Amino acid sequence: MHPFAYVAPGTVDEAVAVLDKHGDRARPLAGGTDLLVKARANAWELDAVVDIKNIPELMTLTVGNDGLTIGAGVPCYQVYENEEVASDYPCIVDGTAIIGGIQIQSRAGLGGNLCNAAPSADGICPLIVHSAVAHIAGPGGSRDVAVEDFCTGPSQTVLKNGELLVSISMPRPPSNFGAAYTRFIPRNEMDIAVAGVGVSVILDSSGQNFVSARIALASVGPTPILASAAGNSLAGKPINDDTIAAAAALATDASTPITDMRGTIAQRKQLINVLTGRMINQAVERARG
């Protein structure tokens, strides 16, 4: 591991200044569960790590009428153990509760999961279907990026040198909203998704028709994928096997998986088809309460 300096600033401005100074030879340290693995493997040669856990806005989770805001350094357990999050954002819990095991969840969080930009990330599809936005600070000021636009390739994001993810926020779900995420892995836990699907739906007041839907796919492309055509196909349609199967087929079309040691193209396409149907049904169940 290349020797690096340890910097623990107390403000966003100080963190940005250090990141800006070192360019791509500095990285923010939140849970460290990806950073220290990559540094140790010499995938990253770093001169400095910037521990962001002393910066209040990066370590704060707020949930209320304005929606849910999760600081970029908030670990998974603080998300899924929050009763309001569990009650109003169960899809966010679906993702955070299956990232690694308990030891990893003590440290790793959604901010790091997003910045690590793994196509298989279990935390990102739930954010996408909740229409979450990433709040970024940088030397030139702040900007917001929709989570579905944040990842640009495996381990690649829109973050420029000197930029820091501060928090992720999403609107409070409207009435008749439901969302769910699942993945397929060969074990019960502690594994990387062969394929994953997140779905959110808004139903009309009768609970029999879709008003709108968002469908996001993991591990079947270079980034998590917002399958817009699949989600849009449900808008205004009745909830039945045919409309759900048609959306699942469109989600399958939107996937561009590869064959690797975890699964084949055919298996992953089949998984997207099956999991999309299941998650639409589960999102509908949650929307109906």
CB of 117 to another protein, least distance (A): 18
92 C-beta neighbours (distance < 10 Å), count? 28
Quote the Cα angle for 256-214-94, to 5°: 90
* Residue among 53 and 237 whose Cβ is closer to another protein: 53
CB of 154 to another protein, least distance (A): 18
* Residue among 36 and 265 whose Cβ is closer to another protein: 36
* Strands 156-157 vs 151-153: parallel, antiparallel or unpaired: antiparallel
Q: Which two tokens stand for residue 289?
A: 């309460």
Roughly how many angstroms between the first and final C-alpha of the chain, as a whole number?
50
CB of 287 to another protein, least distance (A): 28
- The set of residues, in sequence order, having a beta carbon less than 8 Å from that of 196 and lying 6+ positions away, is 120, 122, 125, 181, 182, 183, 184, 217, 218, 219, 275
* Residue among 14 and 57 whose Cβ is closer to another protein: 14
Q: Which residues bind another protein (CB under 8 A)?
A: 1-10, 14, 29, 31-33, 36-37, 39-40, 48-49, 51, 53-54, 77, 100-104, 106-107, 188-190
* Residue among 175 and 188 whose Cβ is closer to another protein: 188
CB of 36 to another protein, least distance (A): 5
* Residues composing the chain: 289
CB of 13 to another protein, least distance (A): 11
CB of 43 to another protein, least distance (A): 12
Alpha-carbon distance of 239 to 281, in angstroms, equals 9
* Residue among 8 and 211 whose Cβ is closer to another protein: 8
Closest-CA residue to 136 (of 38, 19, 214): 19
Pick left, alpha or beta for residue 159 (phi over 0 → left; psi -120 to 50 → alpha; otherwise beta). beta
* Residue among 3 and 289 whose Cβ is closer to another protein: 3
